[in-house]
Amino acid sequence: MKNVREAGFAVHSSSFILDSYRIGMIELQDISKRFGLRSALEEINLKVDASEILCLLGPNGSGKTTLLKIIAGLVLPDKGSVLVRGVHPQRQTQRDKRDFGLSLGEGLGFYGRLNGYQNLSFFGALHGLSSRALKDRIKELDHWLGLTQALVTPFQQLSSGQRQRLSLARALLHDPSILLLDEPTKNLDPNAQKNLQNFILEQLVKAHKKTVLLTTHQIAEAEAVGERVIFLKEGRILKETNLTQIHTSGISLREIYKQCFGPTGPS
């Protein structure tokens, strides 16, 4: 067992996830969504294989978060369908929701007056985890993500970085096979970003075979974690590429980004 702790993020392999290894697969067919007159997504077709990490890259308002919410069943598409392991989410049972671990941007969605432990306990219980399992799991997540301080501090007093880690911990609580991460490193300092990206890629995807959909507007992040990168603009897929293509073509992700979005764009 290897145990490495870097700048607050412990990277640790554990039997918990390995023992409960499951395969996840998502398929989006002709997904379209409008909010009033504005088109949020248009005819999105996408397939994510098990144990793959897919990065949705695009500027603000490109439809990244809407797409994640549609996959999680929080927003219904106007057209098209989402299949998870070949099953439409609307036909999924409540139990099937355990397949997903959702982390919405900026670490929001916690109870400010409760500390990290109380928050995680509550959401863990909603996922059906017993008191004992929760205790063990939170201890494990603390070890991986360095949550010790966050667990005993009211959420409203946590820093952005602590909130992000807590949000990721909540997504991982019930050991889902699919992780939907909306800008998981937003507001983190470069070092913390790098460590969290490393944790997602090395531990979640490579070691524990999670399927990860990650949104970002940072090219550097897409370069760091994205095996496959989808470029989204105004709700449309402009381009799809993967690391192998990038390496063989000699064109950097930044250059592709410029081709898609013009010279001005995110970092």
Partner 1 sequence: MFWTYWAFLRRDAAIWASYPWARFLDILSIFFSCATFYFLSQLLGSTALPALESYGGNYFAFVLIGIAFSNFQGVGLNSIARSLRTEQQIGTLETTLSTPVTLPRFVVGSILWDFLYATIETFFYFGVGIVVFGFSMKESHLLSALLVLMASVFAFSSLGILSAAFILRFKRGDPIAWLLGTVSELLGGVYFPLIILPAWLQEISWFVPMAHALEGLRLSLLQGAAVNQVFHHFLWLLVFSAVLLPFAFWVLYWALRQSQKEGSLGHY
Measured CA to CA, the distance from residue 246 to residue 226 in angstroms comes to: 11
Residue among 98 and 233 whose Cβ is closer to partner 1: 98
- Residues 177-216: x/- map of binding to partner 1 (CB under 8 A)? ----------------------------------------
Owner of token pair 């990168």: 229
Number of residues this chain uses to bind partner 1 (CB under 8 A): 37
Long-range CB pairs of 135-143 (<8 Å, 24+ gap) are 136/16, 137/16, 137/173, 137/175, 138/169, 138/173, 140/12, 140/14, 140/16, 141/169, 141/172, 141/173, 142/169, 143/3, 143/10, 143/12, 143/14
Sign of CA dihedral 21, 106, 227, 14: negative
Q: Please name the residue that has the structure tokens 């993967």.
A: 242
Q: State in angstroms the smallest separation of the CB of 136 from partner 1.
A: 16
String marking each residue 30-49 x if it binds partner 1 according to CB under 8 A:
---x-x----x---------
Residues 71-130 that bind partner 1 (CB under 8 A): 72-76, 78, 94-95, 97-98, 100, 102, 104, 108-114, 118, 121-123, 125-128, 130
7 binds partner 1 (CB under 8 A): no
The span from the CA of 125 to the CA of 88, in Å, is 25
Give the range of 70-78, 140-148, 203-211, 248-256 binding partner 1 by CB under 8 A.
Answer: 70-78
Query: Residue 11 or residue 67: which is nearer to partner 1 going by CB?
Result: 67
Question: CB of residue 121 vs partner 1: minimum separation in angstroms?
Answer: 7
Alpha helical stretches, state H, 60-127: 64-72, 116-126
Nearer to partner 1, 100 or 199 (CB): 100
Asked whether 229 and 48 are in contact (CB, 8 A), the reply is no
Span 227-266, contacts to partner 1 by CB under 8 A: none
Q: Which residues are near partner 1 by CB under 8 A?
A: 33, 35, 40, 66, 69, 72-76, 78, 94-95, 97-98, 100, 102, 104, 108-114, 118, 121-123, 125-128, 130-131, 154, 170
